[in-house]
Structure 1
C-alpha cells in the first residue's frame, strides 16, 4: 500500500475538503481527487460519500481511519529506527510498565541516565497487560511484576517492598520492620480485593493463619496515603510514601513481603543488546532505591509474584 495515499486520505479527513487538503499536501485538487479514487480502488471500498455539500466519510471510511493513522505512525517509527540502525546508535526506545513502577522507579532512572539514556517514551498499562504491549509491538521492553512469558527474554531487576505506611508519630514508624501479625491489629487502609498488593497481603495473612478486617478499602493509592497521613490508620501499598509518611517493610514467616521486578524484551529486537544493558543499569539503580535488609529466596519471590497483577 502506498503510504503517500494514506497521507492524502488523512489530510482530507482532517481538513474536511479536497480544496483545503490540496493546500496542506501541496498537490493540485484534481490530482488529489484522482489519488483518493486510486486508494479506494486499491482498498476495494469507498472512503467518502460525495455530494454537493462536500465529502463525508462512509461507514467503511470511519472504520479505516484509525487503521490509516496507525500505519503512518508505525511507518514514522520505522524510519526513525532505520536511521538509528544506520548510525549505529540507539535512542528513544519505549518502555511499558505499571503506573507505580513508572513513577517510583523508571522516571527517576530516566533522570539519572540523562541526555544519553536510551528511553525516550513510555506507556503505562495495568500490571496484567504490561507484557501484551510488547507482544503487540507497541513497546520495546517492559518492567513488570508478573512471571514473564516463556517466549520473551527476561531478567530479575530486583525487588520492591510492600510497605506499611504511617505518620512519623505512629508507634510503628521507628521499627525496622513490622510483623504481619502485629500489623493486622492496626486500623488498616488497604486496596480493594482486585488490586495486586491487597492480594499479596491477603495471601501472606492466610499463610500465617491470620485474618483481618480492613478499616478502609479503596481503589486509589493516593487516597489511601492521604487517609493514613490524616491519622485514619496504616495504609499498605507498594507506592513510595507521600505526605511525610514513613514506610516500614512488612515481615512474615519466610521474610519480608517483597515484589519481584522483571525486565522483559524480545531477544530478536534490533536493540536487544542495548536493552539488556539498560535493564542491568536499571537493576543497579533499583538496588540503590530499595536496598534489601533480608534474604528472599527465588521460590518465595515467585510465590508472591503469582499473586501480583
Structure 2
C-alpha cells in the first residue's frame, strides 16, 4: 500500500476538507482529490461521504482510520530502525513526559548519563497526552503518571512526593510531614482543578471528609512557588522546591501522598531492549532523587 496516499488521507481527515489538506501536504487540490479516489479504489470502499457541506468519514472510513495511523507509525519506526542499523548504534531517542517530570527527573538524568546517554530529545506534553505521543510514534518512550494503556508495555519507575511547600520560617517547615487535616487550615496556593496534583489533593481531602477553599488558583507551578516564597500561603506541587522553599510530605490516614511514575514503550520498538535498560537506570536515578518514597505502600497515581 502506498504510504503517501495514507498520509494524504490523514491530512484530509485532520483538515476536514481537501482544500485545507492540500496546503498541508503541498499538493494541488485537484491532484489530491484524485489521489484520495485512487486510495478508495485500491481499498475497495469509499472513505468519505461527499456533499455540498464538505467531507465526512463513512463508517468504513472511520474503521480504517486507526489502521492507517498504525501503518504510518510502523513506517516511521521502520525508518528509525534503518537509520540505527546504518549507524550501528542506538542513540538520540526521544522521551515524552509532563513538563514537571522533564524538569525534575528527565533533565537531571540526561546530565548524569553524559555523552553516552541514549536520550537525545524530550517532548513536553500534558499528562493526559503523554502516552498518545508514543502511540503516534512522536516519541520512542514515555515517563508518565497516569495508568498506561494496555496496548503499551510499562514498568513502575518509582514514586515522588506531592509536596506542601512554604518558606523556611513557616511553622510547618520544620516538620517531617503535615497531615492533610492541618494543611487545609492554611491559606493554600493551588493549581487549577484541571491539574493532576490538584485533583489528587482534592480526592485525598474528600476521602478524609475535609472541605477547603483555595486562597489562590493558578496554572503556573512557578508562580505558585513564587507566591509561597512571598509569604502568601502554602503551595501544593509535585515540582521540586525553589526560591528557598522547604518541601514537606502530605500525610493521610492511608499514608503519604505520592505520585507513581511509569515508564511506557511500544514492545515492537526497534530499540526496545535499550529502552528497558534506560528505564531501569532512570528508576535507580529516581530512587536517588527521592529516597524517602522508596517502600511507601500508600501511594497514589496522579489523575
2:98 corresponds in structure 1 to 98
Q: How many residues align?
A: 249
Q: Is the 8 A contact 2:156 2:263 kept in 1?
A: yes
Distance 2:135 2:294 in 1: 35
Distance 1:149 1:223 in 2: 33
2:114 corresponds in structure 1 to 114
2:259 corresponds in structure 1 to 259
SS at structure 2 position matched to 1:292: helix
CA-CA distance at 1:191 after TM superposition: 1.0
Segments ≥4 residues shifted beyond 6 Å: 39-42, 74-77
Change (3 A) 1:285 1:136: same
CA-CA distance at 1:2 after TM superposition: 10
SS at structure 2 position matched to 1:247: strand
Gaps of 5+ in 1: 4-35, 46-73
Distance 1:100 1:130 in 2: 12
Distance 2:126 2:219 in 1: 13
CA-CA distance at 1:76 after TM superposition: 9.1
SS at structure 2 position matched to 1:246: strand
> Is 1:273–2:258 an aligned residue pair?
no
Distance 1:235 1:40 in 2: 53
Distance 2:102 2:192 in 1: 21
Alignment of 1:52-63 (within 5 A): none
> Is 1:205–2:205 an aligned residue pair?
yes
Change (3 A) 1:82 1:182: same
Alignment of 1:142-181 (within 5 A): 142-181=142-181
SS at structure 2 position matched to 1:135: helix
Distance 2:76 2:195 in 1: 37
Map Cα deviations across residues 112-156 of structure 1 (whole Å, 9 max, x no partner): 101100111111111001001111111110000001011111000
Change (3 A) 1:40 1:185: closer
Change (3 A) 1:210 1:137: same
1:292 corresponds in structure 2 to 292
SS at structure 1 position matched to 2:242: coil
Map Cα deviations across residues 150-201 of structure 1 (whole Å, 9 max, x no partner): 1111000000110000011111111111111111111111111111111111
CA-CA distance at 1:40 after TM superposition: 7.5
Q: Is the 8 A contact 2:258 2:293 kept in 1?
A: no
Larger Rg: 1
Map Cα deviations across residues 46-102 of structure 1 (whole Å, 9 max, x no partner): xxxxxxxxxxxxxxxxxxxxxxxxxxxx98986554132244410011100011100
> Is 1:127–2:127 an aligned residue pair?
yes
Distance 2:33 2:253 in 1: 68
Gaps of 5+ in 2: 5-27, 38-73
SS at structure 1 position matched to 2:172: helix
What RMSD over aligned residues (CA atoms) do the two structures have, in Å? Answer: 3.0
